[in-house]
Structures are given as C-alpha cells and as structure tokens.
Amino acid sequence: MPDFHEALMMGKKVEQMFLLRLKRKYNNPIIIKGSFKPFDIYVPDNHKRWEVKSDMKSNDTGNYLIEVEHYGKPSALMTTEAEYWVLYDSCDWVVCYPDKIKDLILSNNYKLISTIGDGDDYAKKCYLIPKKDIKDIATQIVPCEEHEILNETTRA
C-alpha cells in the first residue's frame, strides 16, 4: 500500500495525463499548482474547471470512493467548484457532472463510510458508489490509451 507521498505523486501523474487529453481539444488548459481545493485544471478557452480523481482500487471493489468530508468539514464533492469530475481507474476516463453525483447519492442508499487514507491522521467520510451507477450518469466514458495505464493499486 502506498504512503501519502506516493499516492499524491500518482494523483499528480493522472492529472498530467488528463491535461494532455485536454490539450488535444483546447489551447491552454492549466493545472492549478499547490494545495488548491476547488478544482485541479482550468481551461481558459471555455472557462471550465475540472477535478480529476483516481481510484484504481475500484477495479477490485466495483465501487468508486467519493469523499464528502475530511477533518470534520465538507470536502471534495461537497466543496468542489469544478463543472466536471473525471474518475480514472486505469481502464477508463469517466466524466460526470458533480451535481449528478450528488443527486445519485440522494436518490440511492449508498453506504457512507469512514476511512483513513494513506498518510492521513484523521478519517474522512466517503460514499461507495457502484461503478455502474456512476457510468450510467456519465457524460462521457473514454477508454484509456496504453500510455495512460498505471498499475499502482491506490486511491488518490
């Protein structure tokens, strides 16, 4: 199991891979550097904001882990300012609207869990959402290309 630093580095690599995808379509997408919580990537061409999440463990569990609280405060899905959430599992890029994920949570009886992430000291609260359900609300599902496949088993 990777430590926090390894998980963070893998998350950054996934962001870079998705940035390269966006550069095929847009002129100047940029990754927001540092500890910026509202979103990961900004596209000036259309003023859209993207959040990129990686969850390779979902290939074993069949569920995406969607964080909603950390350190006793709303986080991730509950605080995002991104128009799009991208879930990467080393097989597909799954693009969703965050509000659709929230609606999905409200409409179903998903299990809210507490878990301590790699390198964290405090538990975060997350929903386990079946991958099929997320894919049903996705605006786009794009298979990963060979150079985009990471083999690490982690959640970032």
Question: Which residue would you say has higher pLDDT here, 122 or 44?
Answer: 44
Pairing of the two strands 140-143 and 73-74 = unpaired
- Quote the pLDDT of residue 29: 97
- Quote the pLDDT of residue 2: 59
Which residues does residue 42 pair with via DSSP β-bridges, in sequence order? Answer: 30, 49
Q: Looking at domain 4-145, does it have CATH number 3.40.1350?
A: yes
pLDDT band at 118 (very low <50, low <70, confident <90, very high): low
Q: What is the CA radius of gyration of the chain?
A: 15
Looking at every residue in the chain, the average pLDDT score rounds to 91
Considering only the C-alpha atoms of the chain, give the largest distance between any 2 of them, rounded to a whole number of Å.
Answer: 41
Mind listing the pLDDT tens digit for each residue in 61-76?
999 999 999 999 999 9
> CA-CA distance, 88 to 17, in Å (whole number)?
10
- Quote the pLDDT of residue 3: 66
Q: Which two tokens stand for residue 15?
A: 């962001």
Mind listing the pLDDT tens digit for each residue in 49-62?
999 999 999 999 99
> CA-CA distance, 117 to 112, in Å (whole number)?
15
